[in-house]
Amino acid sequence: MNLSQKVYGVTFQNPTVLASGIMGITASSWRFCVENGAGGITTKSLWLTEHMGHPNPTIISTEHWSLNAVGLPDAGVEKAVQEVGDYLKNKPAPLIGNVVAGSIEDFGKTAEHIAKLKPDFLEVNISCPNVEDEFGKPFACSAPDAAAVTKHIKQVSGDIPVFIKLSPNVNNIGAIALACAEQGADGFTAINTVGPGMAIDLRSRMPILANKVGGLSGPAIKPIAVKCIADVYAATEGKLPIIGTGGVYTGEDALELMLAGATLIGIGTAVGDRGIDVFKKVCDEMQYWCTNEGVEHVSDMVGAMHKELASRS
Ligand code: RRO
């Protein structure tokens, strides 16, 4: 059973990808993920200049969900250039450079810096739910805003495919994806975290996160991820690759996101719960299921729900 996936000429040995914001920003931590089975790596969100994150506590986890409001701490593009450059010199697996900014112009500048390093893809984070106080509603919450960022980034990114990271916190994710596709988006990452949500400590009567609210991730959000991926796939007629992310813990979770339309599978919160070798575990579980079910190549699963629905209508 073959797990490899080819996207825009880039071969991923398996569909699992480290999701953005997990495991820091050093070439050695990315290599460690690949040694533990990751088919690809996404960097944390990179800023043009140094950016302070939110104060602690920034993360709270239960068995069913995590809430985070890390607030995008980053050392700025100089540091990113060093680490990304180091990784790309001798990369063990493809690298997706994730960029973030507070304005369309700064998105362009950051993307231009990172594109020059020749990552395999760019991922554009227009959907962080945790910096609304600083920057207002995420660009991903409006089709014209999301399209404007896409258009600007496509002008500076050369031949690097551009994936737009979408927000689930909208009622028209398909229309937003389509607006980005019309401006040249090469693919999508779906989804960023849900909400924001809030958790309150009973004794202190205070929100647990210093930021009060945070983005929801973990097993509880998988059905939302599946629906969003299916909507994006349908809106773009399955023509553009999707990195499906949201609540994937097991091989069967990964395959479910593939049936909805994902070509690659981001794994984030599960790294903390199942350990760094979650990538290898998820791959072994995908292998096991597909072999038992007679699926020869994992790519046969991508978008298969849509074909099945069409064949029955
Ligand atoms: O840093 C964060 O607080 C954060 C980001 Br950039 C994001 O895109 N999604 C999220 O849940 N947290």
**Range 290-296 average pLDDT:** 96
Per-residue model confidence as pLDDT tens digits over 153-179: 999 999 999 999 999 999 999 999 999
Residue 24 has pLDDT above 80, yes or no: no
Structure tokens at 206: 């205070």
Which ligand 1 atom is at minimum distance from the Cα of 125?
8
Q: Where are the domains of the chain?
A: 5-312
Residue 141 has pLDDT above 90, yes or no: yes
Residue 233 has pLDDT above 90, yes or no: yes
**Range 24-44 average pLDDT:** 94
Q: If you compute the radius of gyration of the chain from its CA atoms, what whole number of angstroms results?
A: 18
Ligand 1 centroid to 192 CA: how many Å? 8
The pocket around ligand 1, CB under 6 angstroms, is made up of 21, 45, 68-72, 100, 125, 128-130, 192-193, 215
Instruction: Categorize the per-residue pLDDT at 75 as very low, low, confident or very high, splitting at 50, 70 and 90.
Output: confident
Residue 312 burial (CB count, 10 A)? 6
Q: How far is CA 84 from CA 41, 109, 115, 285, in A?
A: 11, 17, 11, 31
Domain 5-312 - what CATH class? Answer: alpha beta
Per-residue model confidence as pLDDT tens digits over 243-256: 999 999 999 999 99
Which ligand 1 atom is at minimum distance from the Cα of 72?
1
Per-residue model confidence as pLDDT tens digits over 210-232: 999 999 999 999 999 999 999 99
Ligand 1 centroid to 212 CA: how many Å? 14
